[in-house]
Chains A and B, each alone.
Chain A
Amino acid sequence: MNEQPMSKVLVLDNSPEHARLIKRFCDQNNLSALKVRKDAVTSVLRTNIDLGGILYSEDYADSPEETARIALEIHGARPELPIIIRREKRATLAGLPDSTQRVFCGAYVTSDMSALRKVIDEYIFCLVYPNALLRGIAEISTEVLGNLFKDVKTSFDTPYIVHDRVIFGEVFSLIMLESSWCRGYMMLQTEEESFLNLVGRDVEVENPPNFRRVNDLLSETTNMIWGGFKNRYIGDTGSATGTQVQVPLIVNHKHHYISFGTSNPQLCFRFIMEDPLTTRLATLYARFVFNLSWSPEDFKEFTHDSGGLVESGAIEMF
């Protein structure tokens, strides 16, 4: 496995003169460059996933106004993606209109790519992942997949860094990761049919697996990878909250289905908000799912005495 993660960047730059330098930079800096025609940008953004950032250019369109308009449109569609602009003279955002300056996180010139390296490190590769972690996750996961999907060969790509927040596939799982040195989530996502195709090999025709089987299998896969991660990188003393019990959440957005890993009911509240002037309504549903523990006999209510009544919104001075 290549030790360093890579990242996919959209290259919106029509200059053949700079193309070679940009490509070389990408090859040398763990970036996978995806070139896009101007008329395909919107559709690519709609369909392309797992992007780390965008390399843009000052002369991308036929006029500065059009270049600015496209940049604003891209930023509006994907505000989480860092956009870095190539300029002709100086590696700075100075001189760009205020409205467009804010959409770029940095600038570079091809005569000195160190500015681009700096911006890439700050905005794309902004978290450093220990090599042992990268190797370990790949090992744990391939072992789990090998155990759950017998007779299936598993391989993996170089890990990659994403700033996109687009979800894809049809079903995903979520589980919390919590230790003294890291806290966050693991998410597994896949497409139902392709997963089912692997599952359906040795199953009776009368009871073919359906989406619930995918959900169960994804849940168990998540559980096992999480367990492997926990055993190797978290240990007994790692939990910040004193408990390490977690169950995966499964969301199947194709079937509008969510599982909290329990058959416990969900306590629901429906709030209806109405604008009395326009009579427009919005409905908000709150669901309380006590899937990890529920002991109503120990129910208690905390009242915090601040030595005097302090309303919410008021300041309590120390």
Chain B
Amino acid sequence: MAKILVVDDSSTVRDEVSTFLRGSGLDVVTAVDGKDGLVKLEADPGIKLVVADVNMPNMDGLTMVEKIRGELKNSTVNLIMLTTESSPNMKERGKAAGVKGWIVKPFKGAAVLETFKKLAS
């Protein structure tokens, strides 16, 4: 089953996104910040898509995706940002790190489900 890692310091967002995705037949792992996200990704090669917030304590989402590509040398997992941020500079930084898509919160499951399924398969 396709597996997605949802990284957000807000338990409200983690619950909302993971409940929707699990209800749509996807397997979900969650992490509470960028550091936790790196640990969870490294521990589970079955994760095919990472959906991450930007503003998080300990390690922000953009630093995390840069480390996924850099330190973890993981060039295959797909990366989507789910964040309140919409600045072009942040998007450019995400794009440069290999982020495939950018969603400005709030999360609307129906609008993104097909894309998530495709990226997680």
Task: Name A's B-contacting residues (CB within 8 A).
Answer: 302, 304-306, 310, 312-318
Contact = CB atoms under 8 A, between A and B. Distances in A.
Contacts of A312: 104-106
B88 interface: yes
Nearest to B95: A318
Contacts of B104: 310, 312-313
A140 B17 CA distance: 45
A59 to B, nearest CB: 32
B86 interface: yes
B93 to A, nearest CB: 12
Contact of A313 (B80, B88, B111): B111
Interface residues of B, number: 20
Nearest to B94: A318
Interface string B93-108: 0110001111111111
19 contacts: A304-B86, A305-B88, A306-B86, A306-B88, A306-B91, A312-B104, A312-B105, A313-B103, A313-B105, A313-B108, A313-B112, A314-B108, A315-B112, A315-B115, A316-B91, A317-B115, A318-B91, A318-B100, A318-B102
A174 to B, nearest CB: 15
Counting chain B CB atoms within 10 Å of each CB, the highest count among A304, A313, A315 belongs to A315
Given A313-B105, A314-B111, 6 more contacts: A314-B108, A315-B80, A315-B101, A315-B102, A316-B102, A318-B101
A314 B113 CA distance: 10
A304 B115 CA distance: 23
B76 interface: no
Contact of A315 (B87, B88, B111): B111
A317 B103 contact: no
Contacts of B101: 315-318
Residues of A contacting B: mostly? loop
Contacts of B88: 304-306
Given A304-B86, A304-B87, A304-B88, A315 B103 contact: yes
A310 B105 CA distance: 12
Contacts of B86: 304, 306
Nearest to B114: A315
Contacts of B106: 312-313
Contacts of A305: 88
Nearest to A307: B88
Contacts of B103: 313-316
Counting chain A CB atoms within 10 Å of each CB, the highest count among B80, B102, B105 belongs to B102
Contacts of B115: 315, 317
Contacts of B112: 313-315
A46 to B, nearest CB: 24
A318 B81 CA distance: 11
Closest 9 pairs (CB-CB, A-B): A313-B108, A312-B104, A315-B101, A316-B102, A317-B101, A318-B95, A315-B112, A315-B103, A304-B86
B59 to A, nearest CB: 11
Contacts of B108: 313-314
A303 to B, nearest CB: 10
Counting chain A CB atoms within 10 Å of each CB, the highest count among B104, B107, B112 belongs to B104
A264 to B, nearest CB: 26
A267 to B, nearest CB: 21
A302 B88 CA distance: 11
A316 B94 CA distance: 12
B102 A313 contact: no
A75 to B, nearest CB: 15
A314 B116 CA distance: 12
